[in-house]
Amino acid sequence: MTESLADVEQAKATRRSPVAWFRASSFQYELILAALIVVVAVGVGIVSHGLFWRAANISQILVDVAITGVPAIAMTLVMITAGIDVSIGSLAGLAAAVVGVTFENGWPTSLAILMALVATTFGGLLNAFIITRGKVPPIITTLGTLSIWRAVVYALLGGSWISTIPPFLVNTLVLAKIGRYIPYAFLGAVLLVIVGAWASRTRPSFRGIFAIGNNEEAASIQGIPVRKLKFFLYTAMGLLAGVAGLLMLAQSPVVQPTAGTGFELQVIAAVVVGGTRIQGGKGSIIGSVLGAILVEVVQDAVIMFHIQSFWQSVVLGGMILVSVLIGMRGRRQE
Amino acid sequence: MSDLKKQSWMTSTAEQYGMLIAMLVLVLLFTAGVAPGALSVTNLATMTTVGVEIGLLAFGETLVILGGGGGIELSVGSNLALTQILIAVMVQHHVAMLPAALFGLIIAGALGSLNGLLIVVARIPAIIVTLGTLYAYSGLALVFSNGVNLSVFPNSFNTIGQGSALGLPFQFLVFYIPVALIMWYITTKAVFGYQLRLVGTNEKAARFSGINVGWVRFRAYMLTGLLCGLAAIIQSSRFATARPDAGATDNLNAIAIAVLGGTYIFGGRGTIIGTALATAVVTMLSFTFGYANINSVIETGTVGAVLIIAIYGQTLLQDLLKRRGRET
């Protein structure tokens, strides 16, 4: 097949200027996000007289990014199928509660962690089952299980706090670092992100996820295993929500009955800031992670600037709206 | 609308109410079994005070979801919090109570309108807009209150949330019942209601028949804002305090009640009576749990399970009706 004139023109333009290269790139939004992160980080660094770049602050941010970023992997894919999962905050709390209760009762660390992940994976499985088999819309299903798992967490804890947490979690995930800056939690998150991004971009079976989001019926007719894919995604969502719960526990080692409340909205915010289209069909895991980083850096900036911490959620709300407006402008040009 | 369609719509609504009434009876039996004392006349009256605020929010949610096009309001609880804080701040700055409350209503309406504008004019999906304003409004509530409860209201203000009229709680008789009647009228008799339903059922058809879809939806969000304002006034009067964290759980609860009341999550179908019945179910359940000293979170869990089962039942029913329709 011969190259079309437009292709040649584009190739020339690509060689000519970085602006043209940017226009032709399929990662436009991600590049904007990355640039924004750099600008904000440099700006905060200057204004805070370097406080921002201290190892303690950076590693704190990286743990926060890991906590939101890990479930954001599955949330991105779920939202690409035009679904949503608002139960993950309760599931993260469930993971924390299970670890707390079992460890307090003398279970070994490994078993306690395994039990927590099994519990949240089961939670994801239940969502998946109700959504794919019962045909109940994802928002309603997960709204229901959000309440159910929160009740289970309260029942497990009996309303009290647990502060005997496996030291392993804190020591290896948060305190152990590579070169004072990068905690293992972040490293693990990066690994998961790479696997997720690679799978969703290259594995043929995962490409179906985008087709589902664009037109579920058409995807189904084309032979894409819609039910299977969705089932897998919501189950994986449960597992990753559990991982996030463990990371939360590692960051602040106490289990409260309210652990993880509102976490689901934070993850959805990161995914939305990361450019995933809420109506489905479009989005990227890398974008979501960049979104998580931007959200965390800006939240940190609010503290660095000595602004009342109450402004954090105002800023987050504004970021969600602005990022969507920017993303929509880009799409209209397409 | 043909007679046939009207009839099938009516039978399906009857089925919906049947389910809700069955649920209400079940909850009543449950209450009688677990905490028979909760069914005294005074307690039933108290129950209504608890349900008024969330009931008003659920009415708004019903309107917004009815309008379809992915319509949803995640920020009702945040609006409730911000409005009551702003009213308290005004009172703190020596604004008289009545104008402060009226300003509060206007502010709440404006907050709802802002959601509507972003959704209708900027064309951002409702779930994102209201997720954003959920954070923004509750954050501002904290900013304006410095994160503390404000108890600045004059004693006369307490009547709204704590007084009684004709033996019934004041806010139930003077606010909830009239608002429910107005909402019922708006959604079933007024042109706006028909338009909202049509917009929710088939946006294109609505557009072709000359309805300004955006304007119809915008008004739903504005009305929801006003309802949040009313709930804010009632709640801050009931507690004699404005709390910046009020309504944190109401955002999702209001949706749960609306959906439980038979509002179809993708728009076009739903009734005020259904939402009111669902409010009664949830409120009674929560009161019973409280009365029997069971943690309220367990009640929330029960509502979650009931929600899923009810919607699953609806889907089954619809499938069945569709199949029956195909056979005949």
- Pick the residue of B64, B65, B135, B269 with the most A CBs within 10 A to test the interface with A by mutation: B135
Using alpha carbons, list the distances in angstroms from residue B287 to A150, A236, A316, B25, B307. 19, 37, 35, 15, 18
Residue B301 and residue A151: Cβ atoms within 8 Å?
yes
- Arithmetic mean of pLDDT over chain B: 83
Least confident of A10-24, A30-44, A120-134: A10-24
- Number of A/B CB contacts below 8 angstroms equals 130
Is there a contact between B139 and A315 if contact means CB atoms under 8 Å apart? Answer: yes
Helix (H), strand (E) at residue A183 = strand A182-183
Confidence of residue A334 (pLDDT cuts 50, 70, 90): very low
Interface test with A, best of B129, B131, B148 (most A CBs within 10 A): B131
- Determine, yes or no, domain membership for A213: yes
* Distance between A32 CA and the closest CA of chain B, angstroms: 20
* Angle, helix B97-120 to helix B76-92, in steps of 10 degrees: 150
Residues of B in contact with A139 (CB under 8 A): 72, 265
For Cα atoms B60, B66, B68, give the angle at the middle one, nearest 5 degrees.
Answer: 120
Closest-CA residue to B200 (of B322, B63, B107): B63
Residue A130 confidence class, pLDDT cut points 50, 70, 90: very high
pLDDT at residue B14, rounded to an integer: 62
Measured between CA atoms, how close is A259 to chain B, in angstroms?
13
Instruction: Indicate if the pLDDT at residue A1 is higher than 50.
Output: no
Q: Flag whether A149 is in a domain.
A: yes
Assess if residue A165 is contained within a domain. yes
User: 182-211 in A: which are within 8 Å (CB) of B?
Assistant: none
pLDDT at B1 over 50: no
Q: Domain range spanning residue A245? A: 33-39+51-271+284-333
Question: Is A69 contained in some domain?
Answer: yes
User: In angstroms, what separates the C-alpha of B111 from chain A's closest C-alpha?
Assistant: 14
Two tokens, residue A180: 């004072």
pLDDT (0 to 100) of residue A9: 58
CB pair distance less than 8 Å for B128 and A278: yes
Q: Which of A1-10, A114-123, A200-209, A314-323 has the highest mean pLDDT?
A: A114-123
Q: Identify from B114, B128, B144 which residue to disrupt to test chain A contact, counting A C-beta atoms within 10 A and taking the largest count.
A: B128
Least confident residue range of A98-102, A268-272, B307-311 = B307-311
Q: B325 or A101: whose pLDDT is higher?
A: A101
pLDDT value, residue A293: 92
pLDDT of residue B291: 76
* Stretch B74-79: mean pLDDT: 90
Residues in A touching B135 (Cβ below 8 Å) = 265, 269, 313-314, 316-317, 320
pLDDT in tens, B120-155: 888 888 888 888 888 889 889 988 988 888 888 888
Mean of pLDDT values over B306-316? 79
| Burial (CB count within 10 angstroms: exposed 0-12, middle 13-18, buried 19+), residue A26 | exposed
Tell whether the model's pLDDT for residue A2 goes beyond 50. Answer: no
Instruction: Quickly state the pLDDT bin for A25 (edges 50, 70, 90).
Output: low
The answer to whether the Cβ–Cβ distance between B138 and A311 falls below 8 Å is no
Q: Is residue A22 part of a domain?
A: no
Q: Is pLDDT of A116 > 80?
A: yes
Residue B327 confidence (pLDDT): 56
CA dist list (Å): B11 to A218, B274, B321:
33, 14, 11
Residue A102 belongs to a domain: yes
Query: CA nearest A144 in B: which residue?
Result: B304
- Name the band, by pLDDT with cuts 50, 70 and 90, for residue B162: confident
Query: For residue A11, is it within any domain?
Result: no
Tell me what ipTM this predicted complex has: 0.74
For the domain B3-327, what is the CATH code? 1.10.3470.10
Q: Does residue A27 form part of some domain?
A: no
User: Would the pLDDT of A156 be above 80?
Assistant: yes
pLDDT band at A331 (very low <50, low <70, confident <90, very high): low
**Chain B hits for A84, Cβ within 8 Å:** 127
A320 touches chain B (CB under 8 A): yes
CA distance A49 to chain B (A): 26
Residue spans of the domains in chain B: they are: 3-327
| CATH (domain of A121) | 1.10.3470
**Identity of the highest mean pLDDT range in A72-81, A290-299, B186-195, B276-285:** A72-81
**Secondary structure, 3-state, A21-49:** HHHHCCCHHHHHHHHHHHHHHHHHHHHCC
The pLDDT of B201-228, averaged and rounded, is: 90
pLDDT at A333: 46
Q: Which residue has the higher pLDDT, A57 or A4?
A: A57
Q: How many domains does chain A have?
A: 1
The neighbour count for residue A322, using CB atoms within 10 Å, is 12
Pick the most confident of A61-70, B43-52, B203-212, B285-294.
Answer: A61-70
> In this predicted structure, which of A134-138, B255-259, B289-293 has the lowest mean pLDDT?
B289-293
pLDDT value of position A329: 61
Once rounded to an integer, what is the mean pLDDT over residues A85-93? 92
DSSP class of residue B166 equals T
pLDDT in tens, A187-229: 888 999 999 888 888 887 788 888 888 888 888 888 888 899 9
Distance CA A314, CA A278 (A): 21
